[in-house]
Structure formats: structure tokens, C-alpha cells
Homo-oligomer: A and B are copies of this chain.
Amino acid sequence: MSLVRVHNFSVSLDGFGTGEGQTMEAPFGHAGSRLHGWFFQTRTFRAMQGEPGGSTGIDDLFARDWDRGIGAEIMGRGKFGPYRGPWTDHEWNGWWGEDPPFHTPVLVLTHHVRPAVEMQGGTTFHFVDAAPEDALALARQMCPGQDIRIGGGVATVREFLAADLIDYLHIVVVPILLDRGEKLWKGQEALEDRFEIESVSSPSGVTHVTFTRRRASES
């Protein structure tokens, strides 16, 4: 069965998945790089950067699980870039340079559709104006039998949760307090009724929390 998964999604202890004030220089606003320090230390991230070394413990175990069996990603426009409204810069193709780390089709949700862009390494950005259910159906057509990753940002994960489309959600609680930004948990009362939840703390200081959808027979 094809699953819908979220991986390596960092939130502050007070529940913000990103800070306030996104710009080209600060994709996560005033959070800077503080939400993702645990990830930057992993061997998985360093390998993406073409660098050796990095941690190989529980943080990396989670980090490297992100692309196992994934056939496509769906992301919100805010993850793709800092611009809103009609596209003015068609040369800008995401924060990741010419060879993005996805290596699959990537559906970018936007009300302003534009032609698909094929990058190096197997990543193709498709710009679609679709509700979560329809975007998911489209993504599944692109990779029959494989899993779909919801890549973020905060609002996109929240929308897919609200539509009850997510099977597996991996959250990383980072011990910082941002107090401003976008809240992941808004409007998600009693989410625990739909998911098995496990927590494991890492020596790095973060806590990995996994939500696995209960099967109908369990709930």
C-alpha cells in the first residue's frame, strides 16, 4: 500500500515549524538555522552536501529514512521559495541549486501554475493548483505503488493532517523557544486518537516523535 509520509520535520518546543519573516537569506525567518542543527550534524545531510563525516546515531537513522521507497514529494510554495503571487523570476528554481536532493517528481502547490521545470539528477518540479486530495492522486499517478512524501512547509503539513491524508509523521522537537512564526499544531485537537505516538530523545538534545496512523481495527 502506498503511504503518505512526513519526515524530519522540526518544531520548536513551543510548536513553531518555522520562524517569522521568511526572506531569500532566511528561509526559516528568525529561527535561522536553529531548528535544523540536529540535521546538519548527520552523515545523511553531509553526504547531500558532498561532505564526509557526520553523526551516525539515532538522528541519522531518522534522517536517512526520508527517501526510502519515496516516489514523489508534495510541497507548499513557501518551501519552494520566498516569493508569493504571480511568478516574476522564472530562473529561480528553489533553494537547492541545479541538482536538488529529491531525485523524483516534486509537486509544488501554488495558485499560479507555470510549466514544469526539469532539474539535474531526476528532480522535476511540477506546479499545480490543487486541493490536498487531488494533489495526492496526481502524485500517485506519477509513481504507482511508491510512497509520497509531504515535504512541508507548516501550512501544507497542517492541511494534509486536517484532510486525514497522512499515514506517518516524524516530528523533531528542538529545545528552543521561538514564540513567533507558524504553528504546526493549530487546530489538531485529539490527533492522538488517530495515531500511535512514540517519542525517543537523542543525545543531541532533540526528541523524535513519530505518529503512525492506527489501522481501522485498532481505533
Contact = CB atoms under 8 A, between A and B. Distances in A.
Given A13-B185, A14-B185, A185-B13, A175 B192 contact: yes
Prevailing SS type, chain A contact patch: loop
Contact of A185 (B177, B190, B199): B177
Contacts of A206: 199
Count copies of this chain in the complex: 2
A173 B197 CA distance: 12
A25 interface: no
Given A14-B185, A15-B14, A185-B13, A177 B201 contact: no
Nearest to A174: B192
14 contacts: A13-B209, A173-B207, A175-B197, A175-B209, A176-B192, A177-B188, A177-B190, A178-B189, A179-B189, A179-B190, A198-B205, A199-B205, A199-B206, A207-B207
